[in-house]
Structure 1
Amino acid sequence: MNAIDEDVVHGKDGNHQPWCHTCGIFSRFPDDEPKQIDQTNQRWSSPTHPEGHGLATAEKILDLAHKHICPDF
């Protein structure tokens, strides 16, 4: 995650809750990639980015989740 943007996890590398929600996004919106990206952007916010880190960063997070955390989706 730090390679994407260090502020995404803002010192909470051990927090797995956002990953669980991110994997759930695949099942809730299976054929709607724009919605998946939007929901990921909303989920991965931080104190310095309360509205999310932007759609490009959200897309990278979603790709990382799909490849490494929840590849069955």
Structure 2
Amino acid sequence: MADLEVIDPDIVHGKPDKAVSRGRDQCTSVAQWPDDQAKLVGLAQQRFISPDHPEGFGPEKSTRILAVVRRYLCPTP
């Protein structure tokens, strides 16, 4: 959670369980399209939303979110 909050505190917005759930869903996409960075960033932008960011956090922050998800949540092959 701390790494997501460094990117933008509104990513977690007081709901860490929701952030973890979204991260796990993102892992499913990583498994399906491991080499399609553009697709994965787009999916992170769709998944990680908040009341103040209903359209996501933009491509730059979504890229960083994806890196955090891969590092901490997605199992390595």
- Whether TM-score is above 0.5 comes out as yes
Residues 1:10 and 2:16 aligned together = no
Structure with the bigger percentage of helix: 2
Deviation, 1:71, is 4.3
Report the equivalent of 2:38: 34
Tell me the SS of whatever aligns to 1:2.
helix
Tell me the SS of whatever aligns to 2:65.
helix
Deviation, 1:70, is 1.1
Report the equivalent of 2:68: 64
Q: Where in structure 1 do 4 or more consecutive aligned residues deviate above 3 Å?
A: none
Aligned equivalents of 1:53, 1:12: Cα separation in 2: 16
Count of residues in Structure 1 that have an aligned counterpart in Structure 2: 73
Gapped regions of structure 2 (runs ≥ 5)? none
Question: Residue 68 of structure 2 aligns to which amino acid in structure 1?
Answer: L
Aligned-pair identity (%)? 34
What TM-score does the superposition give when structure 2 sets the normalisation length? 0.85
What TM-score does the superposition give when structure 1 sets the normalisation length? 0.89
